Amino acid sequence: MDNSLLSLLIWLPIFGGALVIWLGNERANTARWLSVALSIVVFIMSLSLFTEFDSSTHLMQFEEKASWISQFDVYYHIGVDGISMPLIILTTFSSILVLIAGWEVIQNRPAHYMAAFLIMEGLIIGVFSALDAILFYAFWEASLIPMLLIIGVWGGDNRVYAAIKFFLYTFLGSVFMLVSLIYMYNKGGSFSILDMHNLSLSATEQAWIFWAFFMAFAVKVPMFPVHTWLPDAHVQAPTGGSVILAAIMLKMGGYGFFRFSLPITPDASLEFSEIVIILSLIAIVYIGFVALVQRDMKKLIAYSSISHMGFVTLGVFALFLAYTPGTAEGALLGLEGAMIQMISHGFISAAMFLVVGVLYDRLHSREISTYGGVINSMPKFTGFAVLFAMANAGLPGTSGFVGEFMVILGVMQANIWYAVLAGTTLIVGAAYTLWMVKRVFWGEVTNPAVSTLSDINAREFGILTILAVAVVAMGLYPQPVIDVMHVSIEHLLNQALTSKL
Amino acid sequence: MNNMYTFDTSTLWAALPEIFLLSAIVVVLLLDLFLTKPFKQATYYLTQISLFITGVMAFNLINQPQIIIFSSSFILDNMASVFKVFMIGSTMVAMVYTRHYLTQHALFRGEYFVLVLLSVLGMMVMVSGYSLLTLYLGLEILSLSLYTLIAIARERAGAIEAALKYFVLGAIASGLLLYGMSMIYGISGSINIIDIANFAANADLASRETLILNFGLVFLVIGIAFKLGAVPFHMWVPDVYEGAPTSVTLFLSTVPKVAAVAMLVRILVDGLGAMHAYWADLFMVLAVLSIALGSVVALMQTNIKRLLAYSTISHVGFIMLGFVTGVISGYGAAVFYVFVYILMSLAAFGIVILLNKKGFEADQISDFKGLSNYSPWFALMMLVVMLSMAGVPPFIGFYAKFFILQQVISAGFITLAVVAVIFAVISAYYYLQIIKSMYFEEADKDITITAPMSMQLVLSINAVLILVVGIFPDFWIKLSLSLF
């Protein structure tokens, strides 16, 4: 069973989702129980990825390989290393939360809703574990389909626009990646991602391939200036959709930089790293200010996501500046900080969207001005909300601090001014998050409806507790996660610094 | 070859499927005359049985060594046999969908099926044609049957207009083709593909004497582009698709494309393969224009038949890209694309027909509103078809595009590949419009499905195949490559 663990993680949710569709909306309760049970089983199984993981090697583990399309030497080849394994566990973890979160809230076609999330879970695990470029591309694109339907069917008033924009943006980004993957296949004769890492490419080739990859991954992250689909998608998506989108789908972009851009096009990454860093800084600073003026809570969190994801790209590409022969420490800090930031942002953004979801379910409004004084009627809930807000602002002791701190430390060794700019996010981030908290949770009750709010029920309490534990645990003791990825990151750094020319 | 101009009855077996089908057509036509109203359905079943037997005969000829008979004008090779089996299979599926449409719209007549059988015969002749004359005759049998099929809804002004338009433009195209053929004949002295190929291979293509070969080639390419519906010879496609009864559109948009590609292969690859550099340039222009126009103009359509017409034009562009590469694997990619296109197109029109009811043509995109509430299953199937057409993995349409792109890039046309994928993204928008109607909007009328179980079953299998073959495409890719 060990050998097919990854396959099980991919296909169990997908076939489970198909089963749930077959159960249909008439048997909604069975569908709900089955989906949640399945997602819990998958999560428990994925934990053995962590426990049985050998963190002393950068080589792929839990590998499976079988011929798939022999005409193009495409293999069903999957495996994980220290970079992808934590992201898979993040995926299985978040999926449980969204399925439980959608329990009562979704009354329109509940079985299909559950099935869409299950299928998406399997596809995203596929993205993180694929070692064959075509397999990767297939999972990458296929994961758009459930998300398109989730936004379009269960979303808000302007959902059609948001859903189509989301799909087209990401689709446009990824087709160029496909072209460059095919190009490398024609050159090297293999679609294996690991073979592509070793494929020697000229400077021009690398430049083209780098930008093709960049289109695909930057849209997904999303980086400034191709971020505009994200606020729309987030605002219109149902709570569960926003959570998966922020917690996992954005990580697919970051993962792409780790798995493709750095090792395949190291020289181009070096050459263009300044541009990427500047775009990241714009995302961090400018988008932070944009978040400040939002009146819609979901939009605010969406912009804050973009700003936080800026740290991921900043940490990744700062390695070239931070690295001076002999001391890889700064570069390593940046890369590991980026990874930690991805995972931590997975927890925090999920929590923030769930918090907004709790409010939205009660008053059907995302406007900050609707609320005020929520603490009077929902004290328990406010406790959680403030904790997550603090984490979002990067308070030490929460996971939000660790990643950002590591990235800033890394960048400091590259260029102090970049570090100063990135550091402002701690101020701006605190400003927009805490100001929102102040307007929503504290102060006088201005809207009579707020005083009638009922505090969170056991289900919501459970979800938020789990997330709170995760956020604090990652903040206080991130070492196990760093240990797991350390060797893989070192190897990646080595690849990124080895010229292919 | 001594027996070149003799009639050798011992090789007649190679044309057995055609001979059988011709006999079956006569029998069906005569029987239909004597069938009284309550037994009219018999014509349908007889048609299906005849097609099935013909298909089995063609299937048994697969893997026979290549043989050229009838004074070098008829070839039996694997490509011919596989194409025939595929065309017959697709026609049988199309007939299952057609029956529902015909009964709903009071068009159920015996002639309909006879005409379909005749056009299949014409296509089989085209697929096996190995002289310009045979190819042309096959094409005319096909075209004349199709003109009549469209006009079978004689009470509808739109259908008559479509039939006339198709007839006039089709006749011009045939004329151009014939003109090109006469040029080729004039210079090479033969109408047999083998002789033409020999001539072209030995000719000095740059010399003034062979200029006429080039001249003829252009007309041949135009004729073929007309039949395929490539831009700028596409004008008839949307009008005919829209005007024709949907069941005819279904047939018209699917099976004849196989025959047209077969004719293309016979004339341009087998015959004038030596002139590839000349016709590849023309194809490149046609392909890019088709992909671009097909993707952009479809954005403005509200009628789903017109939309699918433009989508076809864009698919044709991709098919032609495969021929631009000039290598065997590129041709294989094109043929694979044709197979995939037929599978998708059958399912797409099948679902349009599925929604048809007495007096109700489900031919607007808005007619799909809220389908996911009325029939989650078929909404899902349509979703699969649309995403597959857009080229989203894991559906089969992705692998078709992928194969073509891989070949195009490998032939060194990276810009061409980039242009193609950009338009593929643009075209995704209109496929999404249909998904939007089905999933994101509420129904404004009753769209309960009334089609018989047999059709629902075949349609489901058809659409599920798009996913299943998408996950296991290896066999089909290998099959397409083995034909050359």
**Host domain of residue B32:** 2-482
| DSSP β-bridge partners for residue A296 | A367
Cβ–Cβ gap B439/A149 under 8 Å: yes
Q: Is B441 helix (H, G, I), strand (E, B) or coil?
A: coil
pLDDT of residue B2: 46
**Residue A287 tokens, joined:** 């988008």
- Which among A138, A159, A168 has CB closest to B428? A168
B370 pLDDT higher than 90: no
- The predicted structure's pLDDT at residue A320: 81
Distance CA A182, CA A201 (A): 14
- Which of B373-380's residues contact partners 24+ apart within 8 Å by CB, and which partners? B373/B442, B373/B443, B374/B443, B374/B447, B374/B448, B374/B449, B375/B447, B375/B449, B376/A21, B376/A24, B376/A112, B377/B460, B378/B351, B378/B354, B378/B449, B378/B456, B378/B459, B379/B438, B379/B439, B380/A21
- Give A142's contacts in chain B (Cβ within 8 Å): 392-394
Predicted pLDDT of residue B6 = 63
Chain A contact set for B414 (CB, 8 A): 179, 183
Give B1 to chain A, closest Cα distance, Å: 38
The mean per-residue pLDDT over the stretch A80-98 comes to 90
The pLDDT mean for chain B works out to 89
User: Any CB–CB contact under 8 A between A207 and chain B?
Assistant: no
CA A101 to CA A463: how far, in whole Å?
A: 8
* Contact across the interface for A168 and B440, Cβ inside 8 Å: no
Residue A245 has pLDDT above 50, yes or no: yes
Please tell me which of the candidates B393, B429, B481 has its beta carbon nearest to residue A168. Answer: B429
Tokens of A453: 């709010």
- Mean pLDDT for A397-403 is 87
- pLDDT tens, A327-343? 777 788 888 889 999 99
DSSP-derived letter for residue A130 is: B
Evaluate whether A152 touches B436 at the Cβ level (below 8 Å): yes
Mutate to test the interface with B, among A165, A174, A182 (most CBs of B within 10 A): A182
pLDDT at A177: 92
| Chain B residues with CB-CB distance to A141 below 8 A | 392-393, 398
Q: Does the pLDDT at position B386 exceed 90?
A: yes
* pLDDT(B214) > 80: yes
Identify the three-state secondary structure at position A79. strand
CB contact under 8 A, B376 and A69: no
Given this model, what pLDDT does residue B211 score?
A: 84
DSSP A327-355: B-HHHHHHHHHHHHHHHHHHHHHHHHHHH
DSSP SS3 for B381 = helix
User: What DSSP letter does each residue of A205-227 carry, written as one string?
Assistant: HHHHHHHHHHHHHHHHTTPTTS-
In the structure, what pLDDT confidence band is assigned to residue A49 with cuts at 50, 70 and 90? Answer: confident
A72–B contact, CB cutoff 8 A: yes
pLDDT tens figures, B2-32: 445 566 778 888 889 999 999 999 999 998 8
The closest CB to that of A182, out of B406, B424, B478, belongs to B406
Which of A171, A183, A185, A236 best probes binding to B when mutated, by most B CB atoms within 10 angstroms? A171
Q: Compute the average pLDDT of residues A67-94.
A: 89
- Contact call for residues B389 and B310 (beta carbons, < 8 A): no
Q: Quote the minimal CA–CA distance from A301 to chain B in Å.
A: 25
Which residue in chain B has the smallest CA separation from A189?
B410
CB A182 within 8 A of CB A244: no
Instruction: Report the alpha-carbon distance of residue B258 to residue B123 in Å, rounded.
Output: 8
Question: Is there a contact between A137 and A107 (Cβ–Cβ < 8 Å)?
Answer: no
B398 contacts A141? CB cut-off 8 A: yes
pTM of the entire predicted model: 0.92
By CB neighbour count within 10 A (0-12 exposed, 13-18 middle, 19+ buried), where does B207 fall? exposed
B416-475 pLDDT tens trace = 999 999 999 999 998 999 999 888 888 887 777 888 888 899 999 999 999 998 888 888
pLDDT band for position B1 (cuts 50, 70, 90): very low
- Please tell me the predicted confidence (pLDDT) of residue A371: 85
At B65, the pLDDT band (50, 70, 90 cuts) reads confident
Whether residue A192 has pLDDT greater than 80: yes
**With bands split at pLDDT 50, 70 and 90, how would you rate the model's confidence at B282?**
very high
| A-B contacts at Cβ under 8 angstroms | 88
Cβ of B372 within 8 Å of Cβ of A71? The answer is no
Q: What ipTM does the predicted assembly reach?
A: 0.90
Taking a C-beta distance cutoff of 8 angstroms, is the pair B231, B294 a contact?
A: yes
Identify all chain A residues contacting B424, using CB atoms and an 8 Å cutoff. Answer: 175
Cis check for the bond before A448: say yes or no (omega within 30 of 0). no
The partner residue sitting opposite B418, judged by closest CB among A144, A148, A179, is: A179
Give chain B positions within 8 Å (CB) of A175: 421-422, 424-425
d(CA B456, CA B454): 6
- What is the residue-averaged pLDDT of chain A? 88
Between strands A74-80 and B74-76, the pairing is: unpaired
* Structure-block tokens of residue A435: 């100001």
Closest CA to A466 of A388, A371, A360, A377: A388
Domain count, chain B: 1
DSSP character string of B298-346: GGG--BHHHHHHHHHHHHHHHHHHHHHT-SHHHHHHHHHHHHHHHHHHH
Nearest chain B Cα distance for residue A324, angstroms: 38
A138: distance to nearest CA of chain B, Å?
Answer: 5
Cα–Cα distances in angstroms (integers) from residue A198 to residues A202, A255, A285, B50, in the given order:
13, 19, 36, 57
State the nearest Cα–Cα gap between A156 and chain B, in angstroms: 11
B469's tokens:
């073959």
Q: B392 and A141 in contact by Cβ < 8 A?
A: yes
CA separation for the pair B414, A197 (Å, rounded):
22
Distance (Å, whole) CA A172 – CA B421: 8
Q: For position A22, what pLDDT does the model report?
A: 87
Q: For residue A158, what is the nearest residue in chain B, using CA coordinates? A: B440
- If you average pLDDT over residues A9-13, what whole number do you get? 91
A8 touches chain B (CB under 8 A): no
For chain B, the residues whose C-beta falls within 8 A of a C-beta of chain A are: 372, 376, 380, 383, 387, 392-394, 398-399, 402, 405-406, 409-410, 414, 417-418, 421-422, 424-425, 428-429, 432, 435-436, 439-441, 473-474, 477-478, 481
Classify residue A108 by burial, with Cβ atoms within 10 Å: 0-12, 13-18, 19+: exposed
Residue from B336, B373, B435, B478 to probe the interface with A (highest A Cβ count within 10 Å): B435
Contact A149 B410 (CB under 8 A): no
- CA B293, CA B315: separation in Å to the nearest integer? 11
Q: Chain A partners of B372 at a C-beta cutoff of 8 Å?
A: 153
CB contact under 8 A, B432 and A178: no
Residues 6+ apart with CB under 8 A from A49: A5, A6, A9, A62, A80, A85, A88, A89
The beta-carbon neighbor of B474 closest among A71, A168, A179 is A71
**Alpha carbons A132 and A139: distance in angstroms, whole number:** 11
Of A21, A24, A183, the CB nearest to B414: A183
Read off the pLDDT of each residue in B135-153 and give the average, rounded to a whole number. 92
Residue A333: predicted pLDDT = 86
Q: A1 falls in which pLDDT band (50, 70, 90)?
A: very low
Apex CA B405: angle with CA B218 and CA A146, to 5°? 130
DSSP assignment letter at B265: I
Cα(A128)–Cα(A121) distance, integer angstroms? 11
Q: How far is A116 from chain B (nearest CA, A)?
A: 12
